Structure 1
């Protein structure tokens, strides 16, 4: 297995017409979840990736399971919970500039994930363990599960990659800062956004943030700077800025960070130079923003390579 990841996936409902959701009468349903987004992105790039969590033993849980399996993601370790529902969320596209997200995930099946659900051999068989800061915010048992997964990975020599993916609505700022920094200290590679760096350290310059992250323990940090690209700092790979890719029109920014993670991990798996791995992440993050939905814009290998080379950008950038 190239990458194993774990975390909640939900069914996403989006109104078919723009504007406030109170006026919507019809919705489309899709699949979304930071960790499964990364898994789908990696699978489309040709990598062997596994995702697991708890799903409700309901039609929504079956929808997620069959969708991810159909995308080539290994879901053999996913569990169905007959006592809790699959989480849902709604994305309100008021205008191109105003997008609101509403979660209905309280007491969901995924929030009941526990350390006993972990398969040690499954994690040990991966090259990378990918985690986000969303899962430990869902419940105390989810938090314990994340730390247990990290312990297994560290014992078995699996590289831990952590995206803080801060969700302020899920917990207090004090608790979030404490837990996220604890995970950062145990991770090998950290993939924060610029706002998360500001939240954790009170710094506003990428170079300063990166140094603070490295002081916590990781060997490498890649700061996502949105349209500006990314800044990386590594004990072994040096440092530098990777420019972003210009996009004519952003359709939906949600999921861009997950696309970045998938592209970056893909580059590491193929042993690209660190800077090139960051560049692939930035490219996929940009492509994702040109599509509606969290996974719909995740490209295959040919498309991302063409995008980076700057060929046929009119087709890709739409």
Structure 2
């Protein structure tokens, strides 16, 4: 299955604050917040949800097509992604704007405060998914990730018009979507991805209850952090897949993207849903234990050992063929 991954392409500026944000917030003064957090560490990494997910898929042996907009500074990043196995031919490169920036500070409790500058991402709506499909060959799935809202709506409509299954992953952009946009992104999706907070926000944005959303999608995948993941679909009991325990959390940034890469790689290889979720979980934990979203080392033998410990040998055996193709 050829997967097109639409979504942001960005540079991540990741900082660590040694204290707790909560200790700096005064309940009676929340209307007038003016705070500065002195960070102990700064790293600059490649990121963006579209690029992160495509990179993870490529590490698992897939040939994903990255669909997004980058800036005049994209040359080195393109070389990195291409070397990893990501097809970047469909990336639009702006002639005047810089690649998007994600600036994030993480405290000692793994809470995060972040700012995102869209930059070249504002041009993503100019990409025609039909042209991408014509150039890249038949697509089996289009993941619509966080991007310029107009691009997200356009890509969703184009995928439906092409008869290609959609994985809806609005994530950080939910807060920017109006009701009509949120409904257009969700309705008819084969897969819907949220975390627990976004699940509640999605109901508020769409005006639909959980049951109403489930009637409009195939499977709703909700990531629950250290509690794993929930798989829900209309007419069947929810499935819960626990997380793969982390040895030491280095940085939570990108763990959700890695889960999506692993899960959809499992779907593309026709794994049972629980095995696909398990693959997503071991990918997420691998990223949790690394700093940066694309600098992790995926060691198939180690991943299989962790899968067997967390879920048993049958699940590890089911996932083995996917990890055998990992780079």
Shorter-chain TM-score tier = 0.7 to 0.9
Q: Pick closer, same or farther for the CA change 1:144–1:261 going to 2, 3 Å.
A: closer
Cα distance in 2 for partners of 1:275, 1:26 equals: 37
Q: Pick closer, same or farther for the CA change 1:147–1:255 going to 2, 3 Å.
A: same
SS in 2 for 1:65: helix
Cα distance in 2 for partners of 1:270, 1:288 equals: 22
Match of 1:109 in 2: 120
Cα distance in 1 for partners of 2:273, 2:16 equals: 40
Match of 2:319 in 1: none
Q: Pick closer, same or farther for the CA change 1:235–1:276 going to 2, 3 Å.
A: farther
Report how far residue 45 of structure 1 moved: 0.7
Report how far residue 40 of structure 1 moved: 0.7
Report how far residue 166 of structure 1 moved: 3.1
Cα distance in 1 for partners of 2:86, 2:290 equals: 21
Alignment match of 2:169 (pick from 154, 163, 166): 163
Report how far residue 97 of structure 1 moved: 3.1
Residue ranges of structure 2 left out of the alignment (5+ in a row): 20-34, 311-327
SS in 2 for 1:233: strand
Q: Matches of residues 212-227 of structure 1 in structure 2 within 5 Å?
A: 212-215=212-215, 217-227=216-226
Report how far residue 264 of structure 1 moved: 0.8
Say whether the 8 Å CA contact 1:115–1:145 is kept in structure 2: no
Match of 1:193 in 2: 195
TM-score where L is the length of structure 2: 0.77
Q: Pick closer, same or farther for the CA change 1:40–1:294 going to 2, 3 Å.
A: same
TM-score where L is the length of structure 1: 0.79
Cα distance in 2 for partners of 1:258, 1:303 equals: 20
Say whether the 8 Å CA contact 2:174–2:198 is kept in structure 1: no
Say whether the 8 Å CA contact 1:41–1:262 is kept in structure 2: yes
Cα distance in 1 for partners of 2:153, 2:220 equals: 24
Cα distance in 1 for partners of 2:41, 2:197 equals: 34
Report how far residue 80 of structure 1 moved: 1.7
Residue ranges of structure 1 left out of the alignment (5+ in a row): 203-207, 312-318
Q: Pick closer, same or farther for the CA change 1:222–1:147 going to 2, 3 Å.
A: closer
Cα distance in 1 for partners of 2:193, 2:40 equals: 38
- Is 1:147 aligned to 2:153, yes or no? no
Cα distance in 2 for partners of 1:66, 1:236 equals: 46
- Is 1:65 aligned to 2:78, yes or no? yes
Match of 1:205 in 2: none
